[in-house]
């Protein structure tokens, strides 16, 4: 009888050891699978799909790098992206609307909430490449269309054609032609840092660092013209849902040198602004 009890007790102790060994093995296997995982990064559009993002933008603006003449602000809002049409080759026409709200001091020194919104439409390929941009609600949209197009082309990543894994890097370069005729390169480097699952979304984490060059030369009227260039150093992290085929979240810091000149008749004036910003962007709803 004693032998029987001893035998049963010994038998019952084995599963705990087995489970421990199995857990360690599964953990090691999971780490190995994560390490070796490769996925194809692609936008996966659906007709009528609506993505709603919450966004926060913090900015500090300094005039000619003088701390005594600076202004800090925070704005919050939402951005909505709707797939309006989808071609047979997978190219989507997307309508995007952003709304922002922030507080301002009025002339009577009271604090008021100010809001603004802007809408645009553009084509996007499955690899993320942008084209065919239109500004929908700007009165003088055609004057700023090229600036907005360059901004999107430089800031939106075009994904590689092959599968990517942890440690994969690629560089995206856009040729920029300045009003003077000079050709410059705006380049951003992307690196796949990790694979994560958050709130049921299977995502790839991508770090990026680069520069944007955004020149403009706009005739406001027969007697007024505005010229300048925004030079932007950008660092950020993009979290992309590779199963759903859309951005899940993004965090970005920017340092902008904004050169501005204004010509009214025969009189010209110029100034330089330095802007440091932080942008937080997170999926709020999917319809």
d(CA 62, CA 68): 8
- Higher-confidence residue of 69 and 250: namely 250
- Higher-confidence residue of 6 and 201: namely 201
- Higher-confidence residue of 20 and 257: namely 257
- Higher-confidence residue of 21 and 234: namely 234
**pLDDT of res. 140:** 62
- pLDDT per position as a tens digit, 105-149: 777 778 888 899 999 999 999 999 999 999 987 666 667 888 889
Judge contact between 228 and 258, C-beta under 8 A. Answer: yes
Proportion of the chain above pLDDT 70, given as a percent = 84
Question: Of all helices (H) and strands (E), which one includes residue 14?
Answer: helix 2-36
**Can you spell out the DSSP letters for 188-220?**
EEEEEEEEEEETTEEEEEEEEEEEEEEEEEEE-
- pLDDT per position as a tens digit, 24-58: 544 544 544 556 789 999 999 999 999 999 999 99
Which of 191, 42, 185 is CA-nearest to residue 124? 42
Give the chain's domains with CATH numbers.
Answer: 42-286 (2.30.230)
d(CA 166, CA 36): 8
Question: How far is the CA of 215 from the CAs of 131, 156, 174, 255, in angstroms?
Answer: 18, 18, 13, 16
In this prediction, residues 165-179 reach a mean pLDDT of: 93
| Backbone torsions φ then ψ of 19, nearest 5 degrees | -65, -40
Judge contact between 286 and 50, C-beta under 8 A. Answer: yes
Predicted structure pTM score: 0.82
């Amino acid at each position: 009888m004693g032998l029987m009890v001893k035998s049963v007790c010994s038998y019952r102790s084995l599963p705990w050891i087995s489970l421990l060994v199995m857990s360690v093995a599964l953990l090691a296997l999971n780490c190995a699978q994560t390490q070796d995982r490769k996925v194809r990064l692609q936008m996966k559009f659906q007709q009528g799909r609506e993505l709603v993002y919450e966004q926060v933008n913090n900015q500090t603006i300094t005039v000619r790098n003088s701390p005594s003449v600076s202004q800090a602000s925070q704005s919050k809002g939402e951005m909505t992206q709707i797939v309006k049409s989808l071609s047979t080759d997978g190219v989507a026409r997307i309508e995007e609307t952003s709304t922002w709200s922030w507080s301002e001091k009025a002339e009577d020194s009271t604090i008021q909430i100010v809001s603004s919104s802007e809408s645009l439409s553009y084509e996007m390929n499955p690899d993320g490449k942008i084209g065919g941009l239109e500004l929908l609600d700007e009165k003088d949209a055609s004057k700023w269309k090229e600036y907005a197009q360059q901004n999107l082309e430089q800031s939106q990543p075009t994904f590689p054609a092959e599968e990517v894994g942890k440690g994969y890097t690629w560089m995206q370069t856009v040729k920029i032609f300045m009003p003077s005729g000079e050709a410059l390169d705006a380049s951003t480097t992307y690196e796949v840092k990790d694979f994560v699952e958050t709130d049921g979304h299977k995502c790839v984490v991508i770090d990026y660092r680069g520069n944007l060059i955004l020149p403009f030369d706009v005739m406001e009227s027969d007697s007024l013209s505005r010229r300048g260039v925004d030079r932007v150093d950008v660092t950020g992290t993009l979290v992309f849902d590779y199963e759903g085929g859309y951005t899940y979240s993004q965090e970005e810091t920017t340092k902008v040198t904004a050169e501005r000149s204004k010509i009214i008749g025969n009189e010209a004036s110029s100034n330089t602004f330095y802007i440091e910003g932080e942008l937080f962007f997170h999926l709020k709803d999917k319809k």
